[in-house]
Amino acid sequence: MKKVIAILIVVLGFAFSTNAQEVKTVSLEQTKGEFTQKQLTLSEGTYIFEITNTNVGHNVGFVLAPKSDVKAHIKNAYVTAQVKNNTKETSKKVTLTKGEYVYFCPLNPTPQYTLIVE
């Protein structure tokens, strides 16, 4: 019986470790009218976006969308709350696949910047 339990623990441990994905944080800073990071290149994977509002003077947000369809916002990339002046907020987990994306803030407002996933 102990042998069966030990095997079960090993199998379950392996199953959970193969399903676990490393989540990386991408920190982006907004100042008045722009992001300080003008372009990003990332590898495929799961990310959380951390957005900092540095003296913008009002709340800001974050939008990520495929470059081919800018209106198709990736909703998990939205910050969980508007980012108040001189604070930070994060998005939910976002899994990105190869391709080109754009990011911007409609509240600041900022230009659209390129995010490339290789």
- Residue 75 located in a structural domain: yes
- Whether the CA torsion 116, 27, 76, 81 is positive or negative: it is negative
pTM of this prediction?
0.82
Query: Given this model, what pLDDT does residue 9 score?
Result: 57
CB count within 10 Å of CB 3 equals: 7
The pLDDT tens digits of the residues spanning 103-118 come to: 999 999 999 999 999 9
- Residue 1 located in a structural domain: no
Instruction: Please state the domain count of the chain.
Output: 1
Domain limits for position 106: 22-117
Question: Which residue in 47, 2, 3, 4 sits closest to 28, CA to CA?
Answer: 47
- Please report which confidence band the pLDDT of residue 21 belongs to, taking 50, 70 and 90 as the band edges: confident
- Residue 59 located in a structural domain: yes
pLDDT for residue 80 is more than 90: yes
Query: Given this model, what pLDDT does residue 2 score?
Result: 54
- Residue 33 located in a structural domain: yes
- Residue 2 located in a structural domain: no
E strand intervals along the chain = 23-31, 34-35, 39-42, 45-53, 63-66, 88-90, 94-96, 99-104, 113-117
- Residue 29 located in a structural domain: yes
- Residue 53 located in a structural domain: yes
> What residues contact 109, with CB distance under 8 A and at least 6 apart?
33
DSSP state of 61: -
